[in-house]
Structure 1
Amino acid sequence: MDKRESSFRWVVFASVMFTYLLMASQRTAPGLITVQLMTDFQLTASTIGLLTSIQFFIYTSLQIPMGIMADRYGPNFFLIVGAILTGIGTIIYSLSTHELMLFFSRILTGTGDATIWVNMVLILSHWFNSKEFTRLIGVAGMTGSLGFLLATVPFSSTIHLLGWRGAFLLLGILICFCGTLLYFVLVKKPKQLFPNPPVVIENVRQREKLFVLLRRIFSTRQAWALFFCHFGLVGGYLGFISSWAVPYGMNVYEMTRSGASQLIMIGLIGALIGAPLTSWISSRLETIKRPYVIVHIIILMSWSTFLLLNGNPPFPILVLLFFIIGFGFGASALTFAVVRQSFPISESGIVSGFANTGGFLSAVLLPSIFGNILDRFTTGSASLGDGYFYGFIIPVVFSAIGLIGVSSIREAVGRRDRSTVPSEPE
C-alpha cells in the first residue's frame, strides 16, 4: 500500500500538527511572565531581552543546517528529538531556581524548535500527494499562528490557575508526550504498515555541489532582497510580542496580564487573516511585489504611529495597530511565494531557509536592543513610558529595512519561470 493512499496519513498529519501547535506556543509564552521573572529572579530588562533573544538565535542559526541534515538523514528522527528537547527545556524552565537555568532551558527549547518547520514540511511531502500538500501546508502555517494564539489568553488563564511554574511544567510534559507519540506514529507503526519502503537513490552530485550552491545564492541580489524583506516584518512583530508586549500593556496602560495578553491575541487574529488574504490578492492581481510593498509601507506607518503618539496611543488606536502589525506578520508568507517564483525548485529550500533566517534574526535582535533601551531610559528622572517611546524606534528602523528589501525584489519573468523545472539527476 502506498503511504499517500493510506488513511493512516491523517493520523500522521494530526499528530504532527498538534505537536507543532504546542511547540509554536513556546516561542511567545514566556512573554506572559516577563514581569514575574524580573521580580522572582531580580532580572534587568536587558537580561530578559537576552533571555528571549537566545531562543530565536538558536532557531535562526540552525535553519539552513537543519534543512541539509533533514534531506540527508530523513526528517522523522529530528522532529522526534526536537519535540523531546523542547519538552525537556520547558520543564527545566518551570523548575529553574537561577537565571543560568533559565538560559539553559531556552537554549534547549530553541534547539528543539529549530527542527519543526523544515522536517514537518518534508514529512507532509512524504505522506501526501502534491495537490493535498498544497492545501495542507497552508493549514500548517495557520497552526503556527494558532500556537501563538494559545500562548495568549488560554495560557494566561492556565498561569492564573496553576501559577507560572505549574503551567510551564504541564506544557513541557505534554510536548514530551508528543515526542513519544511521534515515535510510534512516524517510525514504529509505518514499519508495520509498510514493511518494504521504496529505496531512495541518493543524489551524490547535488551533495558535492552544496557549498558552491550556497556561495552562489548568498551572492544573489534577489536572495538578499528576500532576506531583508522578511527581516522587516517578522522581528518587529514576533520579537516584540514574545518579550515586551504584555509588560507594555501592563506598565503603560495599567492592564492585567490577561488583559494585556488580549492585545497579542488581536495581533494573532490579524496574522491568521493576513496570510490567506494577501495571497489571494496577489493571485488576483497576478503580482506579488506591488501588494507586498503596500503591506510594508502600512507596517512602517503603524510602528511610526507609536512614535508620533509618544509611545502611548489612545486605546482604540492601539488595538487597531496590533491588528495591522499582526496582519503584516501573516502577510510575510508572501516572501516564500517570491522564493518559489524566483528560484528553481532544487534551490528553493535553501533560499527559503536563508530568507527565514533574516526574519528570525530580527526577532533575535529586537528583544535585547529593546530591553537595553528600557534600562537606559528608565533610570533617574526618566519614566517607563519614555523607555518604551525610544524602544519603538527599533521596529521602525527594522520596518524601513524591510521596505528597502521588498522594493529591491525583481518580479519573475518567463525566463526564470522556465528555470524552475528541475533537471533529472544523472
Structure 2
Amino acid sequence: MDKQTSSFRWVVFASVLFTYLLMASQRTAPGLITDQVMRDFQVTASTIGLLTSIQFFVYTGLQIPMGILADRYGPNFFLIVGALLTGVGTMIYSLGTHEFVLFFARILTGTGDATIWVNMVLILGQWFNRKEFVRLIGLAGMTGSLGFLLATVPFSAWISVLGWRPTFFSAGLLLCLCGFLLYLVLLKKPKQLSLTDTVYVKNETSRGKIRTLLQRIFSNRQVWALFCCHFGVVGAYVGFIGSWAVPYGMTVYEMTRSEASQFIMIGLIGALIGAPLASWISSRLGTIKRPYVIIHILTLLGWICFLLFHGNPPVIMLYLLFFMIGFGFGASALTFALVRQTFPINESGLVSGIANTGGFLSAVLLPSIFGMVLDHFPSGVGNVGDGYYYGFITPVLFSIIGLMGIIFIKEKRLVREIE
C-alpha cells in the first residue's frame, strides 16, 4: 500500500505535529522565568541573553548538517532522537543548580530542536502528495505558533501552580514519551502495514558528490535570497518573545508576569492566523512572492513603530503591532513553499536547512544584542524604556535584510495543482 493513499498518514501527521507543538513551546518557555533565573542564579541580563541564544546557536549550526543527513539517510530516525534529546535537556534544565548546568541543558535542547523542522518537512513530503503538502505546510507553521502560544498563559499558569522546576520537568518527560510515540508511528507500524514510499529515495551519494552539491547550492543566489528572507521575518520575533518580551511588559508597562504573557499572546494569535491565511492567499493568487513582500513590509513597519514611540507605544497600539509582527512570523512558512517550488525534493532538505539557518541565526543574535543594550542602558528614574528603545533598532535592521531577501527571490508561477 502506498503511503500517500493510506489513511494512516493522518496518524503520522497528528503525531509529528503534536511533537512539534511541545518542542516549539520549549524555545520560548524559558522567557517566562527570566527574572526568576536571574534572581536564583545571580546572573546578569547579558548572561540570560547568552543562555537564550545558545539554544538557537546550536539549532542554527545544525540546520545544514541536518539537511544533508536527512536527504541522505531519511528523516525518521533523526526526528525520534531529537524528541528524546529535547525532553532530556528540558528535564536537566529543571534540575539545574548552577548556570553551567543550564547552558548544558539548553545545548541538549537546541540539538534536539534542530531535528524537527527539516525532518518534519521531509516526512510530510513522504506521506502527502504535492497538493496536500502545500496546504499542510501552513498548518505545520501554525502548529509552531501554537507551541509558542502554549508557552504563554497556559505555561505561566502551570508555573504559578507547580513552580518552574516541576513544570519544566513534566514537559521534558512528556517529550520523551513523544519520542517513543514517533518510534511506533514512523518505524514500527508502517512495517506492519507494509506501507511503501513512492516519492522519497535516500540520496546515497559519495563525499565527493556531496561536496559538489554543496558548492552548487551555496553558489545559488536563490538560496541566499531565501536565507535573508527567513532571517528577517523569523529571528527578530522568536528571539524577542523567547527572552525579552515578558520583561519588556513588566519593566516598561509595569505589568504582572501573567499580564505580560497574556499580552504577548496577541502576537501569537497573529502567527496562528498568518500561517494558513498566507498559504491560502498565495495559492489563490498563484504567486508566493507578491503577498510575501507585503508581509515583510508590514513586519518592518511594525518594528519601526517601536522606535517612533521611543520604545513605549500606547497599549492599544501594542495589540496591533504584536499582531502584525506575529502574522509575519506565521507567514514565514511561505519560505519553504518557495523551496519546494524551486528545488527538487532530494535537495529540499539541504536548502530548507540553509533557509532555516537564516531564520534562527537572527534568533541567536537578537537576545544577546538586546541583553548587551539593556546592560548598557540600565533602568532608572526617567529612563525606564531607554534600553528597550535602543534595543529595538536590532529587529528593524533584521527586517530590512528580510525585505531585501524576498525582493531578490526569483519565483516560478504556481501551477494549478496547488490551488
TM-score w.r.t. the length of structure 2 is: 0.92
In 2, distance between residues paired with 1:407 and 1:384? 37
In 2, distance between residues paired with 1:380 and 1:152? 28
Query: CA offsets per residue over residues 201-259 of structure 1, 9 Å max, x none?
Result: 75555875322122122122222122111111111111100000000001111111111
1:151 aligns with 2:151: yes
Question: Residue 282 of structure 1 contacts residue 291 of structure 1 at CA under 8 Å; is this kept in 2?
Answer: yes
In 2, distance between residues paired with 1:252 and 1:29? 21
In 2, distance between residues paired with 1:17 and 1:216? 32
Counterpart mapping for 1:6-405 below 5 A: 6-194=6-194, 203-204=203-204, 208-378=208-378, 383-405=383-405
Question: Residue 66 of structure 2 contacts residue 353 of structure 2 at CA under 8 Å; is this kept in 1?
Answer: no
TM-score w.r.t. the length of structure 1 is: 0.90
**How far off its partner does 1:131 sit?**
4.3
Point out which structure has higher relative CO (alpha carbons under 8 A, 6+ apart). Answer: 2
Comparing 277-286 with 95-104, greater Cα deviation is found at 277-286
Q: Give ranges in structure 2 of 5+ residues lacking alignment.
A: none
What's the secondary structure of 1:43's corresponding residue?
coil
Please tell me the residue identity of whatever aligns with 2:223: A
Please tell me the residue identity of whatever aligns with 1:342: T
Comparing 14-23 with 89-98, greater Cα deviation is found at 14-23
Question: Residue 34 of structure 2 contacts residue 247 of structure 2 at CA under 8 Å; is this kept in 1?
Answer: yes
Comparing 283-292 with 140-149, greater Cα deviation is found at 283-292
The number of residue pairs the alignment matches comes to: 415
Question: Residue 158 of structure 2 contacts residue 167 of structure 2 at CA under 8 Å; is this kept in 1?
Answer: yes
In 2, distance between residues paired with 1:5 and 1:344? 22
In 2, distance between residues paired with 1:136 and 1:196? 21
Question: Residue 374 of structure 1 contacts residue 384 of structure 1 at CA under 8 Å; is this kept in 2?
Answer: no
Choose 1 or 2 for highest CA Rg: 1
Please tell me the residue identity of whatever aligns with 1:28: T
**How far off its partner does 1:345 sit?**
4.2
Please tell me the residue identity of whatever aligns with 1:110: G
Please tell me the residue identity of whatever aligns with 1:377: F
What's the secondary structure of 2:385's corresponding residue?
helix
In 1, distance between residues paired with 2:346 and 2:78? 22
Distance change >3 Å, CA 197–CA 289, structure 1 → 2: closer
RMSD of aligned Cα (Å): 2.5
Distance change >3 Å, CA 41–CA 383, structure 1 → 2: farther
What's the secondary structure of 1:312's corresponding residue?
coil
What's the secondary structure of 2:169's corresponding residue?
helix
Distance change >3 Å, CA 83–CA 405, structure 1 → 2: same
Distance change >3 Å, CA 197–CA 410, structure 1 → 2: closer
Distance change >3 Å, CA 406–CA 261, structure 1 → 2: same
In 2, distance between residues paired with 1:290 and 1:9? 32
Question: Residue 139 of structure 2 contacts residue 276 of structure 2 at CA under 8 Å; is this kept in 1?
Answer: no
Q: Which runs of 4+ in 1 moved over 6 A?
A: 195-198, 379-382
- Identical-pair percentage: 74
Please tell me the residue identity of whatever aligns with 1:289: K
What's the secondary structure of 1:321's corresponding residue?
helix
Distance change >3 Å, CA 194–CA 151, structure 1 → 2: same
Distance change >3 Å, CA 184–CA 246, structure 1 → 2: same
**How far off its partner does 1:336 sit?**
2.4
In 1, distance between residues paired with 2:383 and 2:13? 50
What's the secondary structure of 1:215's corresponding residue?
helix
In 2, distance between residues paired with 1:310 and 1:201? 54
Please tell me the residue identity of whatever aligns with 1:117: W
Distance change >3 Å, CA 130–CA 339, structure 1 → 2: closer
Question: Residue 45 of structure 1 contacts residue 375 of structure 1 at CA under 8 Å; is this kept in 2?
Answer: yes
Query: CA offsets per residue over residues 45-70 of structure 1, 9 Å max, x none?
Result: 11111111111111111112112212
In 2, distance between residues paired with 1:182 and 1:47? 35
Query: CA offsets per residue over residues 288-346 of structure 1, 9 Å max, x none?
Result: 33332222222222111111111111100111111010011112222223333334444
